[in-house]
Amino acid sequence: MCVFDHPQLITASFPCSRSTSGSATSATAMADVNIDELRAKFEAAGQGHVFAFFESLTPEEQALLIAQLLAIDPDRVNRIHTNAMAASHIDASATTIEPLPADVYLDAEHADPAQLAEFRAIGMQAIQDGKVGVLLMAGGQGTRLGSSEPKGCYDIGLPSGKSLFQLQAERLHKLQTLAGGSLPWYVMVSGPTRAATVAFFESHDFFGLDRKNVHFFAQGTLPALTDDGKIYLASKGVVAEAPDGNGGVYAALETAGILKHMKDNGVEYIHAYCVDNCLVKVADPVFLGFNIARGADVGAKTVHKVDPDEPVGVVCLRNGKYGVVEYSEIPKDVAEQRKPDGTLSLSSANIANHFYTRAFLEKVKELEDQLQYHVAHKKIAHVDLTTGEVIKPEKPNGVKMELFIFDVFPFCDKFAVFEGVRKDEFSPLKNKDGPDSPATSRRDILDQHRRFLTAAGAIVVGDDGVEISPLVSYGGEGLEEYKGKTLTGPMHLEPEVPAAAEEKKDVVEEAKVEA
């Protein structure tokens, strides 16, 4: 396991936070910092007020504030704010929205099977050659699910009781076995989820993966600002901050040293996805091969949108460039437009499932001044700079800025879109009940596994479902042994463990107990 928390810094254990504690630690943190230079830097950017209470803080509180300020570039914050506020005043009605051109798009459901097999072979070869890395965006909590844990820890109620993290880790494990290669897994966490995520992986022995191939790094943050761009203090010694959106992954990859790690280890292609899709085909070799064959810098996997009112964004041409338009931004008459065959014109539903070349990701840092961060007007608790009292506003009093992961699409030279089959690709976990809930996620996985087993000649009985461990089958392959067998749910099909291995496992477990 590696944890990336600072450029060029890899530590074997996960720091509890950015902060330090204790007088010795505080003294060490302050020793190498020229506070006058740091203060001057913020004053030159018009943000010197962050030092308003500095002299009244304890040495420990001063060290915490300095550590936080060292991670903030006030000039960058000012640029992002200026560009974001300007973009927020652009007339949305002037935006043109058009369907994707046919030459960038492939509908997998109606594609030539031989062509898909060729893409799969290309993807498997890239994995075998060690050229593929997997990027998981796992910064979200399960708050809307009634859980304070990271969303990836959530158990959707399968017969096995496996979490989303475990399902995805086992798919990764199986694919490595099938391809004969190694897949480094880069897991982006957030402040609230970082410690719990690492602890969850450790408590489950990294789900059988080589822990040296699992790399955690933190999502970035940006200061919360007044409408005119001044940094808020959450307390006298703490800057108010908020996550910079899932598009903040691009800056985090650079600042945390992930891109360097990829380069040093020969990773050329990256599959990126969000943790809350229980059906995600981790490092899907067909999707990888499709993009590699087309020479794409960036690729998007989509599913077919059939209802114009479905609350999902679409991949399309936005003002003549590749991008995503959120469903709330699409005029009703445009959303309802249909092709001659009756399908929606804007039908490529965005599921946050992407392909990148490392070369493209390395260029993104040069694009930041062109990227348009999005402004969210929020109620921000803050310290009154005159009285030092904490103010909790009753209405929005400032802005938080975020970048969306698809905001880089307009800047790629070669873009490709692969439309997968929804029932095999996409079942998001968003709500505690109703649509996109644990119940629908569980249903969709068990329905998929029923299809796999039926295709292999098995008979599945009952409504409780037969679950196939990803260690048995990544995508429906290798199920011949169940031909002609009747399987009654609830059931979990697991790989057979050789007796010697099982005996060794028991010995290890006994040793742990004795220790």
CATH 2.10.10 segments of the chain: 454-514
What's the pLDDT at 30? 62
* Residues 314 and 321 sit within 8 Å (Cβ to Cβ): no
Residue 321, SS3 per DSSP: strand
Q: Is 454-514 CATH 2.10.10?
A: yes
CA 346 – CA 363 distance, rounded (Å): 29
CATH 3.90.550.10 segments of the chain: 87-424
Q: Which long-range contacts (CB under 8 A, 24 or more apart) does 473-481 make?
A: 473/174, 474/171, 474/174, 474/175, 474/178, 474/281, 475/281, 476/451, 476/452, 477/178, 479/452, 479/453, 479/455, 480/456
- The HSE-up count of residue 385 (CA atoms within 13 Å, CB side) is 12
CA 75 – CA 398 distance, rounded (Å): 19
In eight-state DSSP terms, residue 391 is E
pLDDT in tens, 439-466: 999 999 999 999 999 999 999 999 899 9
How far is CA 295 from its chain centroid?
Answer: 24
Q: Which long-range contacts (CB under 8 A, 24 or more apart) does 41-47 make?
A: 41/74, 42/69, 42/74, 45/74, 45/75, 45/77, 45/78, 46/74, 46/78, 46/229, 46/230, 47/74, 47/77, 47/78, 47/230, 47/231
Which residue in 503, 504, 465 sits closest to 487, CA to CA?
465
Strands 348-357 and 298-304: antiparallel
CA 420 – CA 34 distance, rounded (Å): 54
| Surface-to-core class of residue 515, CB atoms within 10 Å of its CB (0-12 exposed, 13-18 middle, 19+ buried) | exposed
What's the pLDDT at 25? 43
pLDDT in tens, 294-311: 999 999 999 999 899 998
Question: Which DSSP string corresponds to 222-245?
Answer: EE-B-TTSPBPEEETTEE-EEE--
Residue 107, SS3 per DSSP: strand
Residue 207, SS3 per DSSP: helix
In eight-state DSSP terms, residue 502 is H
What's the pLDDT at 391? 97
In eight-state DSSP terms, residue 34 is -
* Residues 316 and 105 sit within 8 Å (Cβ to Cβ): no
Query: 241-256 burial, b if ≥16 CB within 10 A, otherwise e?
Result: bbbbbbbbbbbbbbbb
Which residue in 291, 423, 243, 446 sits closest to 351, CA to CA?
423
What's the pLDDT at 92? 63
Strands 105-107 and 415-420: parallel
CA 119 – CA 285 distance, rounded (Å): 7
Q: Is the pTM of this model over 0.75?
A: yes
Residue 215, SS3 per DSSP: strand
CA 401-407-412 angle, to 5 degrees, is: 150
CA 73 – CA 45 distance, rounded (Å): 9
* Residues 288 and 271 sit within 8 Å (Cβ to Cβ): yes
Fold of domain 87-424 = Spore Coat Polysaccharide Biosynthesis Protein SpsA; Chain A (3.90.550)
Q: What is the phi/psi pair of residue 135, to 5°? A: -115, 115
What's the pLDDT at 94? 72
Residues (pLDDT < 50) of the chain are 6-27, 499-515
Which residue in 455, 456, 463, 430 sits closest to 156, CA to CA?
430
**Which pair of tokens denotes residue 454?**
């039926």
